A and B are shown apart, each in its own frame.
Chain A
Amino acid sequence: MQLSEGTRIRTREASWSNEFVARLEGSSLSDSVVRNLLALNVSEERAGKYLSIIEANPDQPFFKLSLSWARPTTELGIRAKPGPEGLGMPDINIGTYGHVPDHWPYENDTPLGSHPTPGSYAPGSYTVYEKSEVWADGVDRLYEDAIRDRWIPATDIDWTAIGALPEDIERAVCQVCTTFAQHGLAESKLLGSWEEKIAYGFHDVKDFLATQLFDAGRKVEALRKRALANGGGLGVQGLGTLYRAWFGSMKATELLVAIDVVYKSYEVVVFERLAAVLPSAVDRDLFARLAHDSSRHLEFGTRHLKYYVQHHENAREYLEHFLARAESALSDEIHHSTVEAGALAVLLGGGVEKIAAGAEALRQLREDQARKYLLILDACAVDRLPRVNPGLLNLARSPQPA
């Protein structure tokens, strides 16, 4: 074997001796492997030891490395620096590793910043390749926030301190827990099933959704535990017509907007209100934690909607359909899954005997939910008020009759 001129130049730059170069040319190593050794900054002494191992074991094919990975086509020399909150995902989203293209070009599991090796390219099951269909600015930070804010229902909630509650209050808490635990179950199913559809280049979004479906599972766990911890028990199931919009989503954005904007803007308001009014400090703590999680999901949904509106060429037309379906499903759920309304009215009023006050408080809650939702859309440059589902507006105008 004779080394190519380029490789010879590199041996001189690496201060390899002429004697060693001659030894290499008399060995079974290829020019490519020698170049790879040089790319790895292996000294003459260490390269010599490697060569000796090969020469001493001529029948051992395993020792004859290709070192094909030594000269990748990727950007090297990356030294991410930890920030005040450790080494977060935003800290490594630098150089080509932080550049997320508008269209992800690879159908396999090539990570962002890497490129497929020819001959090793098997397409996967991904279907979402457009950044505008899933992206949210700052999603990497939201992912780290979710990790940082983790909590453990088994031990972080003081289950023995809930205390005896009036029967109507206890039953109402349990009914609300039953309803929202069920919503959490559906939420985690949907997000889980969409993970594999999102192309690998959008790993920040995939990672964030992993935290959300995990949060949703924790919501199921925590609310079920609450319903069974204090003598109440599970209530009546939520109707579940809400999920028709979720299961029926045909685009990633449709699902993300249905769950993380339309539904979450309603869920957050309920959880925050319960965290403020429930008589037991344990229950207030529980719902405050759930509200915090839901707010993060809503923030993601909002940022995605903003990005979608600005970057998807058909955003405004498509959103008309996405929002109409999601609003309709939510409106139907609230109107027809009436156990939720009854339980909330009892809790907001402070008991069955104050149901009239509770009904008014419920109306106020519905108004606050609708307002929050519409303000979020306003902030995303979507003027939804003229076309919002009339059922949602009706709920905000008049309390449901007792």
Chain B
Amino acid sequence: MTTAPVSTPGLDLSWLDLDESWGSRALPSKKGLTLEDLTALSTGQIPPHAGAPTMTMRGAHADVRAPRHGRQYRDKSDVWSEAAMLLYEEGMQRQWSSAVDIPWHEIPESLPTDIEMAMCTLCTFLTQVEFIAGDLPGRFMGQIHPDHFEVQLFLGSQVMDEARHEDVFRKRALVNGGGLVDANMGASALLTADDFTEMTARLHLFGEGFVQTIFRMGELISTNEAEKRIFRLAAQDESRHLAFGVTHLKYLLDVEPERREELHHYLDLQEGALGQGQGGLTVNPATGEALAILAGGGIDKIDEGFQKVLLMRKKQINEYFHRLEVIGLGDRKERMAPGMRIFLEG
């Protein structure tokens, strides 16, 4: 990065003489012109340690007068994911509208009240937690250095996704004769995360992973195509958020393996919270009961429902462990919270 000459007020034409990158062109690939396509140019080199904490875009010529912003992560390892650009572009391609992409008319007006109210209970819970999943990444967007701006763009796409999830579950609760129910514990304990990597471990890897399993089992708990579509589309979004978490933590361990115990510590805390109302995503009593009724197909089939919920819980834990293995934290099997370890296969 070079420094531009200091300018005085007036029409400054110094930018006409910046010759370093003249003639270099980023070429579109089969997915259009993506952020990854830009990395072929010299401006695509992502520095391991960012420059001065100003707002200078990576590759732009700095103005030495630029004010600083002291609350930015400078080390790439603190925030980076090798998949950030890909996931952002995928997020752009897969935006959807809860207003028109959900076949709302497919929800039968005559759903049994226990099914309708169970769905409203689940939706009340989901509309609570999805906003937390947007507020928290929003907090950290301001702390991403412009040299690593692709991460900031990805987080912005996540905040957008979570707003849409908040809206779609609210809409489902209000469209078929039910309503929201009283609010139980959501996931606001996640807001205690004080560091980007802690946020990623607790929100992306753990919390979103558990919610993702619910979404992917939407076929089991839905009675109609509208609900199936909601869960399918939300799961698609959630997969990106999870992938970001996994790839960030993997990158961190690849370049700073000495931070392994720190990651374990975050997970010790989060796993320890499971089973307590505040941290117990999907295990608070109201949500658990609602899930079981939906999975069984009614309160008169609650035994079948709980068998399916247990299967879901098992799936949650095993998918979580698989992600840990991908990150390089397979040794967590031995130290996983006992209430979770009992669900592990093999």
Give the residues from 197 to 230 in chain A that come closer than 8 angstroms, CB to CB, to chain B. 200, 203, 206-207, 210-211, 213-214, 216-218, 220-221, 224-225, 228-230
Would you give 13 A-B contacts (Cβ < 8 Å), ordered by A? A63-B303, A65-B289, A75-B179, A79-B109, A87-B99, A87-B104, A108-B186, A155-B31, A171-B18, A206-B134, A211-B160, A217-B156, A228-B25
User: Are A86 and B97 in contact (CB-based, < 8 A)?
Assistant: yes
Nearest B residue to A232, CB-CB: B22
Give the residues from 186 to 242 in chain B that come closer than 8 angstroms, CB to CB, to chain A. 186-189, 191
Nearest chain B CB to A332's CB is how many angstroms away? 11
Nearest chain A CB to B70's CB is how many angstroms away? 10
Task: Determine, out of A143-151, A260-268, A312-320, A378-386, the stretch whose residues face the partner at the interface.
Answer: A143-151
User: Are B4 and A113 in contact (CB-based, < 8 A)?
Assistant: no
Given A69-B181, A115-B183, A236-B61, residue A188 in contact with residue B302 (CB < 8 A): no
Q: How far is the CA of A211 from the CA of B166 in the complex (A)?
A: 13
Q: Is B131 an interface residue (CB 8 A)?
A: yes
Nearest B residue to A203, CB-CB: B166
Q: How far is the CA of A342 from the CA of B290 in the complex (A)?
A: 62
Give the residues from 89 to 117 in chain B that come closer than 8 angstroms, CB to CB, to chain A. 89, 92-93, 95, 97-100, 102, 104-105, 109, 112-114, 117
User: Are A217 and B153 in contact (CB-based, < 8 A)?
Assistant: yes
Contact residues of B with A, CB < 8 Å? 4, 7-16, 18, 20-26, 28, 31-35, 38, 41, 43, 54-57, 59-63, 65-67, 69, 88-89, 92-93, 95, 97-100, 102, 104-105, 109, 112-114, 117-118, 121, 124, 127-129, 131-132, 134-142, 144, 146, 149, 152-153, 155-157, 159-160, 162-164, 166-167, 170-171, 173-189, 191, 277-278, 284-286, 289-290, 292, 298-303, 306
Nearest chain B CB to A86's CB is how many angstroms away? 3
B18 is contacted by which of A88, A182, A236 (Cβ under 8 Å)? A236
Q: How far is the CA of A159 from the CA of B26 in the complex (A)?
A: 10
Q: How far is the CA of A232 from the CA of B114 in the complex (A)?
A: 63
User: Are A233 and B24 in contact (CB-based, < 8 A)?
Assistant: yes
Q: Is A163 an interface residue (CB 8 A)?
A: no
Contacts between the two chains (Cβ within 8 Å), count: 404
Q: How far is the CA of A228 from the CA of B36 in the complex (A)?
A: 12
Q: How far is the CA of A229 from the CA of B306 in the complex (A)?
A: 56
Given A87-B175, A154-B33, A237-B61, residue A338 in contact with residue B141 (CB < 8 A): no
Q: Write out the residue numbers on chain A whose beta carbons fall within 8 Å of the beta carbon of B173.
A: 78
Given A69-B182, A213-B138, residue A185 in contact with residue B175 (CB < 8 A): no
Q: Is A241 an interface residue (CB 8 A)?
A: yes
Q: How far is the CA of A110 from the CA of B184 in the complex (A)?
A: 8
Give the residues from 81 to 103 in chain A that come closer than 8 angstroms, CB to CB, to chain B. 82, 85-89, 92, 94, 97
The 8 closest A-B pairs by CB, nearest first: A233-B21, A86-B99, A192-B141, A154-B32, A338-B12, A210-B163, A49-B300, A196-B135
Q: Is A190 an interface residue (CB 8 A)?
A: yes
Q: Write out the residue numbers on chain B whose beta carbons fall within 8 Å of the beta carbon of A216.
A: 156
Q: Write out the residue numbers on chain B whose beta carbons fall within 8 Å of the beta carbon of A231.
A: 22-25
A153 is contacted by which of B92, B171, B188, B299 (Cβ under 8 Å)? B92
User: Are B18 and A235 in contact (CB-based, < 8 A)?
Assistant: yes
User: Are B141 and A189 in contact (CB-based, < 8 A)?
Assistant: yes
User: Are B286 and A68 in contact (CB-based, < 8 A)?
Assistant: yes
Q: Write out the residue numbers on chain A whose beta carbons fall within 8 Å of the beta carbon of B166.
A: 203, 206-207
User: Are B16 and A168 in contact (CB-based, < 8 A)?
Assistant: yes
Kindly supply a per-residue 1/0 record for chain A positions 25-58, scoring 1 wherever the CB is within 8 Å of any chain B CB and 0 otherwise: 0000000000001011110011101100100010
Nearest B residue to A108, CB-CB: B188
Q: How far is the CA of A122 from the CA of B54 in the complex (A)?
A: 37
Q: Write out the residue numbers on chain A whose beta carbons fall within 8 Å of the beta carbon of B153.
A: 188, 217, 220-221
User: Are A154 and B92 in contact (CB-based, < 8 A)?
Assistant: yes
Given A117-B182, A122-B185, A244-B67, residue A217 in contact with residue B57 (CB < 8 A): no
Q: How far is the CA of A39 from the CA of B149 in the complex (A)?
A: 52
A214 is contacted by which of B18, B28, B156, B300 (Cβ under 8 Å)? B156
User: Are B114 and A42 in contact (CB-based, < 8 A)?
Assistant: yes
Q: Write out the residue numbers on chain A whose beta carbons fall within 8 Å of the beta carbon of B162.
A: 210
Q: Write out the residue numbers on chain A whose beta carbons fall within 8 Å of the beta carbon of B41.
A: 228, 233
Chain A interface residue count, CB cutoff 8 Å, equals 131
Given A92-B174, A203-B166, residue A237 in contact with residue B55 (CB < 8 A): yes
Nearest A residue to B180, CB-CB: A114
User: Are B298 and A46 in contact (CB-based, < 8 A)?
Assistant: yes
Q: Write out the residue numbers on chain A whose beta carbons fall within 8 Å of the beta carbon of B302.
A: 50, 53, 63, 65
User: Are A117 and B33 in contact (CB-based, < 8 A)?
Assistant: no
User: Are B15 and A224 in contact (CB-based, < 8 A)?
Assistant: no
Q: Is A337 an interface residue (CB 8 A)?
A: yes
Contact residues of A with B, CB < 8 Å? 37, 39-42, 45-47, 49-50, 53, 57, 62-63, 65-70, 72-80, 82, 85-89, 92, 94, 97, 108-111, 113-117, 120, 122, 124-125, 143-144, 147-148, 150, 152-155, 157, 159-160, 167-168, 171-172, 175, 178, 181-182, 185-186, 188-196, 200, 203, 206-207, 210-211, 213-214, 216-218, 220-221, 224-225, 228-241, 243-244, 247, 335-339, 341-343, 345-346, 352, 355, 359, 362, 400-402
User: Are A195 and B188 in contact (CB-based, < 8 A)?
Assistant: no
Given A74-B179, A229-B33, residue A178 in contact with residue B60 (CB < 8 A): yes
Q: Write out the residue numbers on chain A whose beta carbons fall within 8 Å of the beta carbon of B286.
A: 66, 68-69, 117
User: Are B182 and A185 in contact (CB-based, < 8 A)?
Assistant: no
A76 is contacted by which of B11, B32, B102, B179 (Cβ under 8 Å)? B179
User: Are B278 and A218 in contact (CB-based, < 8 A)?
Assistant: no
User: Are A195 and B12 in contact (CB-based, < 8 A)?
Assistant: no
User: Are B93 and A41 in contact (CB-based, < 8 A)?
Assistant: no
Nearest chain A CB to B339's CB is how many angstroms away? 14
A211 is contacted by which of B88, B118, B163 (Cβ under 8 Å)? B163
Q: Which of A75, A157, A175 has the most CB of B within 10 A?
A: A175
Nearest chain B CB to A330's CB is how many angstroms away? 15
- Contacts A111-B128, A237-B57 supplied; 9 other A-B pairs, CB < 8 Å: A74-B179, A153-B33, A188-B153, A195-B135, A206-B134, A210-B160, A233-B24, A237-B66, A342-B11
Given A86-B99, A124-B191, residue A80 in contact with residue B160 (CB < 8 A): no
Q: Which of A47, A110, A221, A402 has the most CB of B within 10 A?
A: A221
User: Are A155 and B32 in contact (CB-based, < 8 A)?
Assistant: yes
Q: Write out the residue numbers on chain B whose beta carbons fall within 8 Å of the beta carbon of A247.
A: 69
A335 is contacted by which of B9, B104, B139, B181 (Cβ under 8 Å)? B9
